[in-house]
Structure formats: structure tokens, C-alpha cells
Amino acid sequence: MRTYTVIEYEKEDYQNFKDNLTDEKAIDILERISRGWLPNYNFSGEESDFENYCLHQAIYRAQDALRERTNK
């Protein structure tokens, strides 16, 4: 017999992650991306979809930080 847990995320979980993403967490997520791989997401609520969303938000955060740094 196999037992496993299914995690389903609500739309507000996506927004909460985006609103509360720290720079340190963004850096950690960006370091996990290997060889330019960046999957898409579609708000399906599945765990893998939520993780893909988190990756995109980390990329956006890094892009904003780099733009801000280069405009100084």
C-alpha cells in the first residue's frame, strides 16, 4: 500500500507567495534553475504548477532588482 499527500493551492496562495517573497528566498529559488530551464504555469492549483509560478516570480524579482541597480 502507498500513502501520499496531495497539496492543492488556492489562487490566494499564489498572491501570498508573490507578496511575501523575500530577496533571500528569490536567490535560493534562482539557484535551483539549471541550464536555462523555466517551465510555464497556469494556476491549476497543483503543486508542480505552484512551484513553476514561484520560479517565475523569483525571476521577475531578480529582473527588477537588476534593473534598479543599473539605473543608479
Residue-wise pLDDT for 34-58, tens only, equals 556 778 889 999 999 999 999 889 8
Band of pLDDT at residue 67, cut at 50, 70 and 90: confident
HEC profile of 14-61 = HHHHHHHCCHHHHHHHHHHCCCCCCCCCCCCCEHHHHHHHHHHHHHHH
* pTM, entire model: 0.61
pLDDT of residue 45: 94
